[in-house]
């Protein structure tokens, strides 16, 4: 079974609108962490936001917020007021204990295109 599932290969959003990128995860580890990264065409991986499994409140970082629904095992990224510079690949990732040590697994990514 996939550890991290991103069901949207590609998304379009109008500039200044909000967009939600979906991510579901699967783990039996009670202590885990969830990440979102942005990868522009240059190839670098830019850390956006982090949610720990024990965090009571949804994480927010500027225009980014993480809609964490623990019972549903989902960790959707919400980008508010989209900008042209938001066009990039977005990866969801999960850190868990696997084989006795911590490991981070990445989803397949969602390509977001912001339309002027």
Q: How far apart are CA 31 and CA 93, in angstroms?
A: 14
Residue 38 engages other proteins in binding (rule: CB under 8 A): no
Subset of 41-70 contacting other proteins (CB under 8 A): 42-47, 50, 52
Q: How far apart are CA 54 and CA 44, in angstroms?
A: 29
Q: How far apart are CA 12 and CA 78, in angstroms?
A: 14
Q: How far apart are CA 93 and CA 78, in angstroms?
A: 15
Q: Near other proteins by CB under 8 A, which window of 12-20, 62-70, 71-79, 107-115? A: 107-115
The only residue of 24, 82, 109, 114 in contact with other proteins, by rule CB under 8 A: 109
The only residue of 61, 104, 113, 115 in contact with other proteins, by rule CB under 8 A: 104
Q: How far apart are CA 72 and CA 62, in angstroms?
A: 25
Task: Name the residues that contact other proteins, by CB under 8 A.
Answer: 31, 33, 35, 37, 42-47, 50, 52, 91, 93, 95, 101-104, 106-109
């Amino acid at each position: 079974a996939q550890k991290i599932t991103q069901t949207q290969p590609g998304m379009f959003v109008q500039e200044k609108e909000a967009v939600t990128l979906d991510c579901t995860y699967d783990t039996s580890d009670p202590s885990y962490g969830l990440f979102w990264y942005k990868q522009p065409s240059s190839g670098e991986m830019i850390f956006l936001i982090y949610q720990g499994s024990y965090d009571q409140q949804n994480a927010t970082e500027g225009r980014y917020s993480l809609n964490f629904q623990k019972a549903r095992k989902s960790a959707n990224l919400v980008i508010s007021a989209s900008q042209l510079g938001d066009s990039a690949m977005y990866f969801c990732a999960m850190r868990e204990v696997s084989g006795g040590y911590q490991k981070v697994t990445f989803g397949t990514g969602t390509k977001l295109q912001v339309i002027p």
